[in-house]
Amino acid sequence: MRIHKEGYMTILATLLFVATVLLILNHITEHQTWFHIFMYVLGLGFFLMIVRFFRSPKREPGQAQHVILSPADGKVVVIEKTNEPEYFKDERIQVSIFMSAADVHVNWFPVSGMVNYCDYHPGKHMVAFNPKSSLENERSTTVLKTPDGQEVLVRQIAGAVARRIVTYPKVGETIVQGDEMGFIKFGSRVDLLLPTDAKIDVTLNQKVRGTQTVIGRLG
């Protein structure tokens, strides 16, 4: 299992914390008890949970023009037409993917092309499945322009626990479908804003896999 680079410091800090707690516990008590065993198991379980959260699976995406691949692992929680006020300022199809703490939290580019826009917004930390989180939570908005001139907006949204959004691309960069776009620490959400003539291939509550599930097709 590969560990994502965004997790190195968090994993190290967790290891030091767990080790310190167990050392203090051993120091203040003379005899090993069932409570000690319970704390050892609890500490190991917590450490392994943090390590698992930062896993970075190696995947081979199928690249295809006009196909929109899922930018994240998770569950589809929104499919609707909505007015997008930040960049397009017109009607778009929104597809939202909720990532639980158990999901991989790497984000990938859903299409190939060029980065036209990228902006970070500080904000609230409501639960990520709240509809208001799209525009009120901490978030990062990236607009990708495909080779045939169509634009896809990807919005990374922090949830109630998430406190750090990482977005790697810069405006003007050429990007490749399926490459890493960024990372969101702990429970979060990714919104896709697509042209209204896009064909959507997923359904509500469907589980999706980043770079593997086809979200839809551009017209």
User: Which residue has tokens 């080779």?
Assistant: 147
| Helix, strand or coil, per DSSP, at residue 130 | coil
Q: Please give the single-letter amino acid code of residue 202.
A: V
As a whole number of angstroms, the distance between CA 4 and CA 68 comes to: 24
Q: Which of 70, 96, 134, 188 is catalytic?
A: 188
| DSSP, res 178 | T
As a whole number of angstroms, the distance between CA 90 and CA 186 comes to: 31
Cβ–Cβ < 8 Å for 185, 52: no
Q: Which residues contact 66 (CB under 8 A, 6 or more apart)?
A: 146, 148, 217, 218
User: Which residue has tokens 């190939």?
Assistant: 112
For the beta carbon of residue 132, count every other beta carbon within 10 angstroms: 10
* Annotated catalytic residue 100: no
Beta strands in 20-173 (DSSP E): 67-69, 74-84, 90-99, 106-108, 113-121, 139-145, 151-158, 165-167
Catalytic annotation, residues? 188
